Amino acid sequence: MRRILELPLLVVLSGVGSLAMLLPAAHAAAFSNFVVARPFFYGAIMFFLLSVLVGIATSNFRPRLVARSQLAALVGAYIWLPILFAIPFDQAVKDTTFTNAWFEMVSSFTTTGVTQYDTPARLSPSLHLWRALVGWLGGFFVLMSAVAILAPLNLGGVEVLSGRVPGRGAKGAAQITHAAGPADRMIRHSITLFPAYFGLTLVLWVLLLMAGETGMTAFCYALSTLSTSGITNGQPMSTAAGGLLSEVLVFVFMSLALTRRSMPGAVLTDRNRPIFDDHEVRLAAFFLILVPGLLFLRHWLGAFAADDVLNFRAAFNALWGGLFTTMSFLTTTGFESADWQDARQWSGLNSPGLVLVGLAMMGGGVATTAGGLKLLRVYALARHGEREMERLVHPTSIGGGGDSERQLRQGGAYVAWIFFMLYAMTFAIVVAALSLRGLGFEQSLVLTVAAVTTTGPLAVMASEVPLRMIELSLSEKLILGGAMVVGRVEILAILALLSPGVWRR
């Protein structure tokens, strides 16, 4: 076991990814679909043996620059693992290309969840299982990297609370990272985190089965909810057999992506703060009240004009549809409630896709599987703006809340603003690149937001005309694939990797 802990991180991840191929292979073999079972079974054996050989060859490797090695392994995982996952997928799908298979695996592993195979019958149930499983593994990898790699380097949102320069850990962190490599710390943290992550997925799966969902559908829903990937087996949440009960169960488990406190071993610099006083929870509760309320009021006014305002069942459905979909896109999951579209029939008004874009851009909690800007950064910017408004009225006033709140309003807001500007620049670059390839501005913007925020269903729901990934060109898919990786890793981590200050550590 000690020898495994000393291996390079990419070798360990490749071995785990290879063994994961045995699950779709076994599923396909159980249904006598050997055309699908063979590529995954052979791929599991071949890539696991390759991982073993590379592990033996690199068993004595010790990086000279530990911090740079950690970030390079993080970025390298999002470059190499989708290729690894795509090889058996490409062999199992008829009439496809390796580029399409790679794009599908990048989307799954980054928990984006956008798919090119929008015809459910195009993929067998085992391939849908593989997509959901890759997304689930990607969600767990996000949690692990946040705790074991980004947090020690003061990245991933921790910099808002810590008051330290992003890319540089606290005093003593260098000795810790030298004593324990990234693979060592990833595996040690997984011992704490994986039982909870796996257990919650299993509990949700069982509850969905009790609600009336079929086995594979419930399993894909459970995997996608905990990983916030929004991947299904071709049956959208809006057509779930369990109806309202299934949506309530998924809603409860999606709320875990609002705060890092929901998982053991979380990155906490404010451990003494109760969960109901958590900044991210309070801000998420504000949006979960405000956005559905405004959407309900909009539909109610439309129903009033149509003289159907006393239809209480339709009113409840409209309110629940807005609440569920708000939670879904705030956590960057992307599930759509069945009542989201029913509200249109009640009021005769379209549901505004721009609201979903804004929710996805804000994202969920720091050190969770959700993407986006993150609620903690939004909260820091909001508190800073509130404090500046107070100083306009009372220039000599002193902001309260203690040292932690002052740090959040000042240094934390400063770092959050830098990240916001880098975030906006990323959007501008990707939109410009897609526009140069011939896409319209609206299409480019929606696809960019969907990719960078890792909220793939935006491509279908936020645009007036749903966008089909299969119709994109090779260059456009490469651009979006890179945008998904940048959105998942976060631009600050990439800049820290390229910073000479990190190289010297």
pLDDT at 398 (0 to 100) = 73
Are the CB atoms for 378 and 287 separated by under 8 Å? no
Give per-residue pLDDT as tens, 457-467. 998 888 778 88
Residue 381 lies in a domain: no
Residue 46 lies in a domain: yes
Lowest mean pLDDT among 26-35, 270-279, 365-374, 390-399: 270-279
- Bigger pLDDT: 62 vs 125: 125
Asked whether the predicted pLDDT for residue 503 surpasses 60, the reply is no
Q: For residues 231 and 219, what is the distance between their CA atoms, to the nearest angstrom?
A: 11
Q: What is the mean pLDDT of residues 427-441?
A: 94
pLDDT at 234 (0 to 100) = 86
Q: How confident is the model at residue 386 (pLDDT cuts 50, 70, 90)?
A: confident
Within 22-158, residue ranges assigned H as helices are 22-30, 34-57, 66-92, 98-109, 125-145
**SS3 of residue 385 by DSSP:** helix
Q: What angle do CA 331, 332, 337 make, to 5 degrees?
A: 85
Residue 105 lies in a domain: yes
Give per-residue pLDDT as tens, 37-58. 999 999 999 999 999 999 999 8
Q: How confident is the model at residue 354 (pLDDT cuts 50, 70, 90)?
A: confident
CB atoms within 10 A of CB 410: 16
Residue 373 lies in a domain: no
Residue 285 lies in a domain: no
pTM of the predicted structure, to 2 decimals? 0.92
Q: For residues 460 and 102, what is the distance between their CA atoms, to the nearest angstrom?
A: 21
Q: Which is nearest to 69 in space by CA: 208, 224, 184, 196?
A: 184
Residue 448 lies in a domain: no
**Domain coverage including residue 137:** 2-191
Are the CB atoms for 124 and 28 separated by under 8 Å? yes
* Domain count for the chain: 1
Residue 136 lies in a domain: yes
Residue 443 lies in a domain: no
- Bigger pLDDT: 103 vs 159: 103
> Which residue in this structure is represented by tokens 């804004």?
358
41-49 long-range Cβ contacts below 8 angstroms, 24+ apart: 42/88, 43/18, 43/87, 43/88, 43/91, 44/18, 44/19, 44/20, 46/18, 47/14, 47/17, 47/18, 47/21, 47/84, 47/87, 48/15, 48/18, 48/19
Handedness of CA 314, 318, 320, 325 (dihedral sign): positive
Q: What is the mean pLDDT of residues 420-428?
A: 93
Task: Please spell the DSSP secondary structure of 275-294, one letter per residue.
Answer: GGG-HHHHHHHHHHHHHHHH
**SS3 of residue 504 by DSSP:** coil
